[in-house]
């Protein structure tokens, strides 16, 4: 009997989807046999196919958003923005492909030409996360297919229904099933796909720990592309802000959007030792007003539950660890329903905690750190192995310039949240947050490789040095 995988609603515990755990090996083999034909199609052909995909998703927007909301627990309004991002990714990726991987020709000496074109890698594996089960894997799938690759996609075992819905939309639009495969399963299935000798690369979104493991695994296969997009212990510095109401809203959005389950969520709020009290009061007012409820509640909630009970348990354990180390809760992390993974937004002062854990708390927990001056704020911001996102809220351009120049992160914002990066720009981190292959607009870079050709219509060559005189040979 085949092993099955079942998905449940975090908010209610109700079953959403059940399917068979798959074997990636035959899918990789089938993709190997199909990718060359897909790559042989013109770019215009692949473009129109993916534009049809966008139209298919657009026609199922409400159905798709409802599924994502129920399977992830995120509010319905937020799931709608995710579906809109799936649609918008197509045109953005078409533009990015043209700008990042264009064909170019230049004149050279003796009538020669130098040509630069790009080839697809072949078969790419994609491992998707649960927090954005459509948007984030779609950010790999669309540019990979546009470039002419075949893909084997494993969605998170926590959101298989959303992944299946996404792939069904591609197939309905005309992307051949032998070109885009979906395999369901847990970590063992993901490891089998990542280690399959038939793939030419892996595009990964997930935890930093898994990213590091993949980096070690791929060290022996430098001929295979590996793109890692991992999380962050992201700092947000609030210093000499002008509008405390707006600043409090930015802090709340940065920390608690998606119940803190975004890799770009702010984990650490860094403020001056003196003069932060009014801003803190405004933030607490917002925290106390936040609605935590099921995805389709009326009025709509700001936060839904975490993905599952195990995730909520882990975040609670991390919060308790901060308290045991000397952290002072300002707003406690409460569990309204013990049997379900709802958590309330929490704020904890960790200024006096020695050896603060450098880890990503993937939930609604914001750590407050009070510092003496702006230089110390930058030092504290950089006290992390991660390097994904960072923001500074300040009225002073000089502060922003100093922050930008000295903070290590792939996304650095001024008077804006840490999350919500634009798809029209590169997205990725440094440190253990990535491996210098940013996604979003730069995804085209890792979906095809450049080929340089020196071209001439005629064979023209002679060897001018290092040969014996032919006359002397005759003698």
Task: Give backbone dihedrals phi and psi of 230, rounded to 5 degrees, phi first.
Answer: -120, -170
Are the CB atoms for 447 and 439 separated by under 8 Å? no
Q: Is 436 left (phi over 0), alpha (psi -120 to 50) or beta?
A: left
Q: What is the pLDDT along the chain (475 residues), one digit of tens a residue?
A: 689 999 999 999 999 999 999 999 999 999 999 999 999 999 999 999 999 999 999 999 999 999 999 999 999 999 999 999 999 999 999 999 999 999 998 988 877 899 999 999 999 999 999 999 999 999 999 999 999 999 999 999 999 999 999 999 999 999 999 999 999 999 999 999 999 999 999 999 999 999 999 999 999 999 999 999 999 999 999 999 999 999 999 999 999 999 999 999 999 999 999 999 999 999 999 999 999 999 999 999 999 999 999 999 999 999 999 999 999 999 999 999 889 999 999 999 999 999 999 999 999 999 999 999 999 999 999 999 999 999 999 999 999 999 999 999 999 999 999 997 888 999 999 999 999 999 999 999 999 999 999 988 888 888 989 998 887 776 6
pLDDT at residue 409, as a whole number = 97
Q: Which of 135, 188, 180, 157 is nearest to 71 (CA)?
A: 157
Q: Which of 156, 245, 158, 170 is nearest to 205 (CA)?
A: 156
Measured distance CA(131)–CA(74) in Å, rounded: 9
Are the CB atoms for 148 and 38 separated by under 8 Å? yes
- Cα dihedral sign, 151-152-156-162: positive
pLDDT at residue 2, as a whole number = 80
CATH topology identical between 4-229+443-455 and 234-414: no
Q: What amino acid positions are annotated as catalytic residues?
A: 229, 263
For residue 145, the Cα-to-chain-centroid distance in whole angstroms is 18
Q: Which of 129, 18, 11, 19 is nearest to 66 (CA)?
A: 11
pLDDT at residue 112, as a whole number = 86
pLDDT at residue 1, as a whole number = 67
Q: Which of 43, 142, 145, 124 is nearest to 86 (CA)?
A: 142
Helix 187-194 crosses helix 24-40 at what angle (to 10 degrees)? 50
Distances (CA, A) of 179 to 27, 38, 120, 369, 449: 9, 7, 13, 50, 19
Measured distance CA(183)–CA(24) in Å, rounded: 6
Measured distance CA(242)–CA(368) in Å, rounded: 20
Omega prior to 299 cis, within 30 of 0: yes
Are the CB atoms for 7 and 158 separated by under 8 Å? yes
CATH architecture under which domain 234-414 falls: 3-Layer(aba) Sandwich (3.40)
Taking the domains of the chain in order of start, what are their residue ranges? 4-229+443-455, 234-414
pLDDT at residue 322, as a whole number = 98
Measured distance CA(376)–CA(90) in Å, rounded: 43
Measured distance CA(356)–CA(301) in Å, rounded: 32
Are the CB atoms for 437 and 227 separated by under 8 Å? yes
Burial class (CB in 10 A: 0-12, 13-18, 19+), 58: middle
Please state which of the four CATH numbers 3.40.50.280, 3.30.70.3340, 3.40.605.10, 1.10.3760.10 is assigned to the domain occupying 4-229+443-455.
Answer: 3.40.605.10
Tokens coding 255: 């920390």
**Chain position carrying tokens 């995710």:** 82
pLDDT at residue 420, as a whole number = 79
């Amino acid at each position: 009997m085949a092993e099955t995988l079942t998905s449940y609603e975090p908010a209610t515990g109700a079953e959403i989807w059940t399917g068979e755990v798959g074997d990636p090996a035959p899918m990789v083999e089938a993709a190997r046999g199909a990718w060359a034909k897909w790559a042989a199609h013109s770019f215009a052909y692949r473009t129109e196919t993916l534009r049809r995909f966008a139209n298919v998703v657009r026609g199922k927007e409400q159905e798709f958003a409802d599924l994502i909301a129920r399977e992830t627990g995120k509010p319905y309004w937020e799931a709608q923005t995710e579906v809109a991002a799936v649609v918008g990714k197509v045109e953005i990726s078409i533009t990015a492909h043209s700008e990042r991987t264009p064909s170019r020709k230049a004149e050279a000496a003796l009538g020669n030409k130098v040509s630069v074109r790009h080839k697809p890698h072949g078969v790419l594996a994609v491992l998707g996360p649960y927090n954005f089960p459509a948007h984030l894997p779609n950010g790999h799938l669309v540019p990979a297919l546009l470039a002419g690759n075949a893909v084997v996609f494993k969605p998170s075992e926590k959101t298989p229904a959303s992944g299946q819905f996404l792939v069904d939309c591609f197939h309905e639009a005309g992307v051949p099933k032998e070109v885009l495969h979906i395999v369901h399963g847990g970590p063992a299935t993901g490891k089998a796909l990542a280690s399959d000798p038939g793939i030419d690369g892996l595009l990964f979104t997930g935890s930093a720990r898994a990213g590091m493991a993949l980096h070690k695994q791929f060290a022996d296969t430098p001929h295979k592309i590996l793109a890692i997009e991992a999380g962050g212990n992201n700092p947000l510095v609030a210093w000499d802000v002008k509008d405390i109401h707006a600043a409090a809203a930015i802090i709340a959005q940065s920390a608690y959007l998606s119940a803190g389950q975004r890799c770009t969520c702010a984990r650490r709020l860094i403020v001056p030792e003196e003069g932060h009290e009014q801003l803190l009061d405004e933030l607490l007012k917002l925290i106390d007003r936040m609605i935590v409820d099921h995805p389709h509640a009326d009025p709509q909630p700001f936060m839904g539950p975490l993905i599952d009970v195990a995730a909520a348990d882990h975040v609670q354990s991390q919060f308790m660890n901060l308290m045991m180390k000397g952290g002072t809760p300002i707003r406690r992390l409460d569990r309204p329903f013990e049997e379900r993974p709802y958590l309330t937004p929490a704020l904890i002062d960790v200024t006096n905690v020695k050896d603060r854990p450098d880890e990503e708390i993937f939930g609604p927990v914001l750590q407050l750190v009070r510092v003496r001056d702006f230089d110390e704020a930058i030092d504290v911001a950089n006290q992390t192995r991660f390097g994904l996102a960072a923001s500074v809220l300040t009225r002073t351009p000089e502060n922003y310039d100093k922050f930008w120049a000295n903070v290590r992160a792939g996304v650095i914002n001024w008077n804006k949240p840490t999350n919500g990066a634009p798809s029209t720009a590169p997205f990725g981190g440094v440190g253990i947050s990535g491996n210098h292959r940013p996604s979003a607009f730069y995804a085209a870079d890792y979906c095809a490789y450049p080929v340089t050709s020196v071209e001439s219509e005629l064979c023209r060559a002679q060897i001018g040095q290092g040969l014996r005189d032919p006359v002397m040979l005759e003698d």
